[in-house]
């Protein structure tokens, strides 16, 4: 029997636990979560999109695991009778200058084996009558779901299968012992044979506690959302995205009809002043000090300061935020949107300022550390879990 200890109670940690209980039922699984509830951070603050896998380099972990993960997520939701919808989306070229990037995205989607169609302006309007498009890419397999509800169901299934679920349990230290690990927490010691780090916004810190020198550091980017006022929701049928800038992992401000019928707009991407900084008011001295002292952040800032200034300006100005939406749906104005919270993306940045653009998973002796798993990690969670479990030692 092998004892697995998983740090992190977001969708990835819970999916790994679920995979272990399914694939290795004789083994024990303990999940440690510092918050009082599941999916408290990245998972519980995202746009609820089941991504198809359009954007990712063919052959990368993101491309392969997202495409498979999309199907796995839809299948799980159907089996568990969780609300979800495969509604498809449009990626819109609002002007002719964006057409080369749209066509390159179409080629990448085809290479990834996805059901996509290039549309002209008239064809795009059949899906989204109020959209402004020179051309658009229709991605049929994109869907929507409440990932928080998925996590609550996973926790319920895990509890029923005998997994030990510990909330309000902060990891304070990790050390190897006799072929296993001893995890010190705010609620006492936990011993195990194998450690899996799915700590998201704090994944690099957990890795350092375990004696790992991570090849990248987490830099938090806050994404702020608005939503359409009820009487203007009719302007958006499904999901409308701009053509993204390939230099960045962010997809640009977009419009998403949520599973509850509301329509969210966003997110932007601004440097957060705390790893759990969901507003400008949230300031964590330790987090800021680490960022200021990190060479990778300064290198990133020098390379992309103009982009950063644009995002900060949009964060501080509802008018500018609305103008970004107006490029996609011209009828939308500042009066049509109201604030709707924010999320924080745990983006891994290398010391040279390079953004890690794929999932980053580091193995060590009887340990696996997931050091970069932002979007589309929620979509891909069941397949990332399968991938991780295949790396783990067993039959102790």
Q: E strands of 249-349, at which residues?
A: 254-257, 263-266, 270-271, 337-349
Predicted confidence at residue 306, as pLDDT, reads 80
Q: What pLDDT, on a 0 to 100 scale, did the predictor assign at position 395?
A: 59
Q: Are the C-beta atoms of residues 33 and 17 closer than 8 Å to each other?
A: no
Return the pLDDT at 198.
98
The rounded distance, in Å, linking the Cα atoms of 181 and 200 is 20
Longest CA pairwise span in the chain (Å): 67
* pTM given for the model: 0.95
Beta pairing, strands 89-93 & 239-242: parallel
Distance CA 50, CA 135 (A): 23
pLDDT given at position 307: 79
DSSP bridge partners of 370: 361
Give CA–CA dist 379/386, Å, rounded: 13
- How do the residues of the chain divide into helix, strand and coil, expressed in percent and rounded to 5? 35, 25, 35
Q: What is the pLDDT of residue 225?
A: 95
Kindly give the parts of the chain with pLDDT less than 70.
Answer: 248-249, 394-396
Q: How far is CA 17 from CA 6, 115, 197, 285, 378, in A?
A: 7, 31, 12, 33, 15
Contacts of 129 (CB under 8 A, 6+ apart): 237
- Rounded to whole angstroms, the Cα distance separating 144 from 51 reads 8
3-state secondary structure 194-244: EEEECCHHHHHHHHHHCCCCCCCEEEEEEEEEEEECHHHHHHCCCEEEECC
What confidence score (pLDDT) does residue 348 get? 96
Confidence (pLDDT) at 386 = 98
Nearest to 144 by CA among 236, 63, 51, 38: 51
> Residue 294, SS3?
coil
**Angle value at C-alpha 370, between 192 and 388, nearest 5 degrees:** 70
Neighbours of 247 (CB within 10 A): 11
d(CA 375, CA 62): 9
Q: Tokens at residue 270, please?
A: 């601004």
* pLDDT at residue 246 in the model: 73
Cβ neighbours of residue 316 under 8 Å, at least 6 residues apart? none
- Report which of 249, 346, 350, 348 is spatially closest to residue 295, judged by C-alpha positions: 350
* Number of neighbours of residue 249 by Cβ within 10 angstroms: 22
C-beta separation of 236 from 228 below 8 A? yes
Q: With both helix axes pointing from N to C terminus, report the angle between 377-391 and 61-80 in degrees, rounded to the nearest 10.
A: 100
Q: Is the dihedral of CA 205, 209, 210, 216 positive or negative?
A: positive
Nearest of 239, 214, 270 to residue 51 by alpha carbon: 239
Cα radius of gyration (the chain)? 21
Nearest partner of 29 among 152, 130, 166, judged by Cα: 166
């Amino acid at each position: 029997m092998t004892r697995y200890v998983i740090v992190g109670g977001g969708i990835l940690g819970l999916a790994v636990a679920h995979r272990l209980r399914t694939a290795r039922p004789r083994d024990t699984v303990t999940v440690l979560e510092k918050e009082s509830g599941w999916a408290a951070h990245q998972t519980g603050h995202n746009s609820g999109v089941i991504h198809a896998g359009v954007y990712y380099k063919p052959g990368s972990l993101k491309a392969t695991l997202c495409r498979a993960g999309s199907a796995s997520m839809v299948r799980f939701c159907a089996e568990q009778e969780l609300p979800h919808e495969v509604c498809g989306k449009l990626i819109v070229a609002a002007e002719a200058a964006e057409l080369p990037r749209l066509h390159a995205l179409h080629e990448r989607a085809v290479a990834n084996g996805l059901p996509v169609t290039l549309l002209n302006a008239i064809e795009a309007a059949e899906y989204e009558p109020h959209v402004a498009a020179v051309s658009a890419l229709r991605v049929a397999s994109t869907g929507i779901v409440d990932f928080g509800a998925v996590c609550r169901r996973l926790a319920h299934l895990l509890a029923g299968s005998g997994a030990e679920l510990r909330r309000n349990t902060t990891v304070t230290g990790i050390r190897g012992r006799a072929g296993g690990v001893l995890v010190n927490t705010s609620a006492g010691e936990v011993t195990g044979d194998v450690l899996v780090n799915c700590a998201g916004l704090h994944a690099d810190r957990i890795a350092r506690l375990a004696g790992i020198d991570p090849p990248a550091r987490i830099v938090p980017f806050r994404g702020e959302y608005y939503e359409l006022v009820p009487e203007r929701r009719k302007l958006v049928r499904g999901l409308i995205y701009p053509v993204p800038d390939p230099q960045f992992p962010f997809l640009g401000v977009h419009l998403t009809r949520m599973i509850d019928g509301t329509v969210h707009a966003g997110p932007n991407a601004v440097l957060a002043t705390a790893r759990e900084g969901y507003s400008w008011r949230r300031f964590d001295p330790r987090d800021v000090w680490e960022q200021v002292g990190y060479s990778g952040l300064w290198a990133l800032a020098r390379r992309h300061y103009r982009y950063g200034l644009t995002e900060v300006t949009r964060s501080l100005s509802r008018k500018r935020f609305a103008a970004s939406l107006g490029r996609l749906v011209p009828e939308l104005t500042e009066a049509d949107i109201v604030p709707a919270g924010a999320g924080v993306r745990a983006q891994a940045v290398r010391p040279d300022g390079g953004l890690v653009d794929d999932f980053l998973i580091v193995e060590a002796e009887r340990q696996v550390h997931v050091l970069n798993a932002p979007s589309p990690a929620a979509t891909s969670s069941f397949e990332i879990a399968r991938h991780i479990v295949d790396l783990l030692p067993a039959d102790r």
